[in-house]
Amino acid sequence: MLDVYEITSLEQLRAISDLLRVRILDNLKEKPLTVTQLAELLGMAPAKVHYHVRELEKVQLLKLVETREKGGILEKYYQAVARNINVSKGLFSSLHQDEAVEGIRQLLNQARDGYLTAFELELQDTQAPGAGLAFFLSRLYVTRDEMQELLKRIAQLYEAYEKPRRIEGEQEVMQILFSYPEHQKELAMPAALITDTQPEQPEQEASVGVRHINRHELEQALQQNKHLHLSIVGLCIIASDVPFELVQATIEKFSLVGRLQAAPDIYDYLMSMRHQP
């Protein structure tokens, strides 16, 4: 495994513009795991984790390092390409401005939504409302070299807490730290500590007629942690570029009176769950 790997393409940048994928990479730095093991560690459904692992593998940020046969089943072990994954300094300057901004906006929007969801849940805790959250806003006066040294020292402090220790009261906390020269942007959040406890949200939909389902729609649902409950009367069309893993990770219930047009594996999967309660 490499010690440091630099992201040099827009495809790789897009791939990590998702907080769950960042968590996946973090958990695969020390040792290789199967998708099932990783899902257990993250407390998520294997189908959802499998989709993200496949996407990270496509852009070579994860790699398949070992296969084992166990009970007639082939187990695949994945590991991060490096212990530290950084964005190349020249990447943003080489991208179109809109592409660079959109990549960062997507990541920050997820951080915002995760924090607000956690904030709402913490307020419902009558014993200690807000006790699981932290939010820091600071104004510093530093040179560029001092800022780099400060960030290095913060990273060293984090190292002691980046691996599960399995101690009483331990919980996984999402933390995001970012800074900016204030004269360049007036409205921003210099620093935040964010607890990632966003719950899964089923989304029910009933439609009559022709229902087209495309890849972008399902990726948005996956990003927002939504499980789709679809009830369709008429024709349902799943776009040809939609992978099976994405359907498996997002469509939780499917009811159809009519006809389904989809790839064979997706067709079999959705039709098999048509009459499930």
- Residue predicted with more confidence, 14 or 132: 14
Q: pLDDT category, 77, cuts 50, 70, 90?
A: very high
Both 183 and 116 in one domain: the answer is yes
Both 194 and 241 in one domain: the answer is no
- Residue predicted with more confidence, 173 or 255: 255
Both 88 and 103 in one domain: the answer is no
- Which residues partner with 86 through β-bridges? 6
State the Cα–Cα distance between residues 16 and 31, nearest whole angstrom.
20
Mean pLDDT of all residues in 116-145: 75
State the Cα–Cα distance between residues 265 and 270, nearest whole angstrom.
9
Both 166 and 211 in one domain: the answer is no
CA distances from 190 to 98, 154, 179, 180 (A): 22, 15, 5, 7
Q: What is the pLDDT of residue 78?
A: 96
Whether 277 is in a domain gets the answer no
Q: What is the pLDDT of residue 199?
A: 43
- Which residues partner with 207 through β-bridges? 232
- Residue predicted with more confidence, 190 or 27: 27
pLDDT at 14 over 60: yes
Most confident of 55-64, 186-195, 208-217, 252-261: 55-64
Tell the residue number behind the tokens 């996956």, with chain if given. Answer: 222
pTM of the entire predicted model: 0.57
Name the residue range of residue 30's domain: 1-95
pLDDT at 213 over 90: yes
pLDDT tens across 149-193, in order? 888 888 888 878 877 788 888 887 877 777 877 655 444 444 433
Domain boundary residue, one of 70, 95, 120: 95
Domain boundary residue, one of 45, 70, 95: 95
State the Cα–Cα distance between residues 12 and 55, nearest whole angstrom.
10
Residue 192 has phi, psi (to 5 degrees) of: -155, 145
- Residue predicted with more confidence, 109 or 56: 56
Q: What is the pLDDT of residue 207?
A: 83
Minimum mean pLDDT range among 32-46, 78-92, 121-135: 121-135
Mean pLDDT of all residues in 228-232: 90
Both 65 and 13 in one domain: the answer is yes
CATH number at residue 80: 1.10.10.10
CA distances from 202 to 82, 205, 243, 250 (A): 35, 10, 21, 10
CB atoms inside a 10 Å sphere around CB 239: 15
